[in-house]
Structure 1
Amino acid sequence: MPSVSRLTLAGLAVAGAMLLGTSGCGDLDEASAAPLTRENLVSETADQLAAGAGLTYTAKYQVAGGETATVSRAQKPARAAYVYPGGRLITTTTVTIRCAGRSCTSVAADPAAAAALDEAPLISPEAVQAMLASAALDPAVETEQHDTTITGRHATCLKVLGGTARAFDVCVTNEGVLASFTATIDGERIDQALTSYSETVPPNAFLVPTGASLVDKSAK
């Protein structure tokens, strides 16, 4: 089975969002009466996850190795922060900031940045959407769906397997927040599960950590 790289996920992110975003067209009565197909299940999960991009929240995860990672989102303007062991990614409408340890670099806004959290034991909702886009294009993919409860929140889960797409398991809360994810990407095991969720974000969520150095390349 071919490997799915994080760069591939970044490339699929924008195209995948456009592709899966068209899944709701057609006769609603017929759609509600017909059994859910593979395409329906993949598109439904992708749409549910995409809804989370419009929320304000802080989600904490346990990742592989028992360590902790955090995803924060806020609106007006839209911005997000991904904090994981050894690094941090902050995305806004104007800049993208990457930190490794205490060293940070700011560049012009990169819409695909969150789909490729390089060497991080954390996967972003954008990267999962890219994987769902790949699965939607593969007629040999098989899917299994079930419901669960994670940290007291109802979540819908989808297992994707078979075909040439990468096998993975994903759960998404009713609100559209990534609740859990399991897969192997670039030989690295990604295994994360939501441990807490808040509809607020700390005031320093989108700031460079205190004491970190920042190299600004956003104007170059």
Structure 2
Amino acid sequence: MPAASTTLRTLAVSAIALLTVTGCQALDDAGRAMGRADIVNDLAARMDRALELTYSAEYQFGGGQRALITQAQDPARSAYEWPGGKLTVTAEATTHCETTAGRPVCTLEAPPAPNAKPSVVVFAAAEREGLVTPPMVMGLLTSAALDPGAVITQRDSTVAGYLATCVDVRQQDDHFSACVTGEGALGSFTGRVAGEPVELALSQFREQVDGTAFDLPANAGVVDRRPADS
């Protein structure tokens, strides 16, 4: 099983185990616990399947800026582009581009291990940039499902023309909402990331990609830090 699949499934299984371990719960308590576990399982399964897809998803931030997540299979490659930067992972390199000022500068590093999914590598790097990713949202939802004080409300909606399952989560010191489409793409997120308010929503979803999405920005300067034998 791919590493990403294992991670998402572990989150869901952990939620079920912790939420149902107390056999002396009242029936209504057990019902609420199972409802939370069901939500986590459903969304985790969707995002798990989405790691195997080819798609491009364009997002709009609350301030009007845009971001683009692109992933393709055969060969496997992935990219996350946002105002000021771009991360790309292919079989040839892991590339981080800074595009905030003047000429873009891209740093090429070694590609991920052969059994690593490019999308997982991109998402991990994107989170370090303070960006919202599907695994990050999954982690927040799982944490809320394990919090007995959290109030989780589920609803159906439509995002960018696609049916989606949405959850609103209220905890003692936090509140966030997220939607996941039936295809497994992150549909929207409103909440805080590293203490900062973030709002983004899917504006366009396509089940095909433009190959140029994995190219370096035009006229980019290149710093190649890959080992000589990569």
**TM-score interval, smaller chain:** 0.7 to 0.9
- Secondary structure of 1:38's aligned partner: helix
Is the contact between residue 16 and residue 130 of structure 1 (CA under 8 Å) also seen in structure 2?
no
Native 8 Å contact 1:143 1:160 kept in 2: yes
User: Is 1:207 aligned with 2:207?
Assistant: no
SS at match of 1:143: strand
| 2:98 corresponds to 1:100 | yes
Q: Which amino acid aligns with 1:53?
A: L
Q: How many percent identity over aligned positions?
A: 38
What are the within-5 Å matches in structure 2 for residues 119-138 of structure 1?
Answer: 119=129, 122-138=131-147
Shift of residue 24 of structure 1?
Answer: 11
Q: Mean Cα displacement is larger for which, 90-99 or 66-75?
A: 90-99
Report the AA paired with residue 98 of structure 2: A
Q: TM-score under structure 2 normalisation?
A: 0.74
1:173 to 170, 181, 184: 181
Kept in 1, the 8 Å contact 2:132–2:193? The answer is no
Deviation at 1:135, TM superposition (A): 3.2
Structure-1-length-normalised TM-score: 0.77
SS of the residue 1:210 aligns to: coil
Number of paired residues? 199
- Show the counterpart of 1:43: 41
SS at match of 1:204: helix
| Partner of residue 161, structure 1 | 170
1:191 paired to 2:191 = no
CA distance in 2: counterparts of 1:153 and 1:71, whole angstroms: 17
Higher helix proportion, which one? 2
Q: 1:108 to 1:135 in 2, by over 3 A?
A: farther
Q: Which has the higher contact order (CA 8 A, sep 6+)?
A: 1
State the alpha-carbon separation in 1 of the partners of residues 155 and 167 from structure 2.
7
2:87 aligns with 89
Query: Does the C-alpha gap of structure 1 residues 149 and 70 become closer, same or farther in structure 2, counting only changes over 3 Å?
Result: same
C-alpha distance in structure 2 between counterparts of 1:116 and 1:183, whole Å: 20
SS at 1:123's partner residue?
Answer: coil
RMSD, matched Cα: 2.9
* Pair 144,94 (structure 1): closer, same or farther in 2 beyond 3 Å: farther
CA displacement 1:159-217 (0-9 Å, x = unmatched): 222167x5321101111111111111123222111111111111211111121112122
Look up the SS of the partner of 1:65 in the other structure. coil
**Contact 1:19–1:133 at 8 Å: present in 2 too?**
no
Distance in 1 (alpha carbons) for counterparts of 2:121 and 2:149: 27
CA distance in 2, matches of 1:190, 1:139: 25
Q: Compare CA radii of gyration and give the structure with the larger one.
A: 2
Does structure 2 retain, via aligned residues, the 8 Å contact 1:49–1:176? yes
Post-superposition Cα deviations, 1:101-127, rounded to whole Å, max 9, x if no partner, equal 10111223465551342445x412232
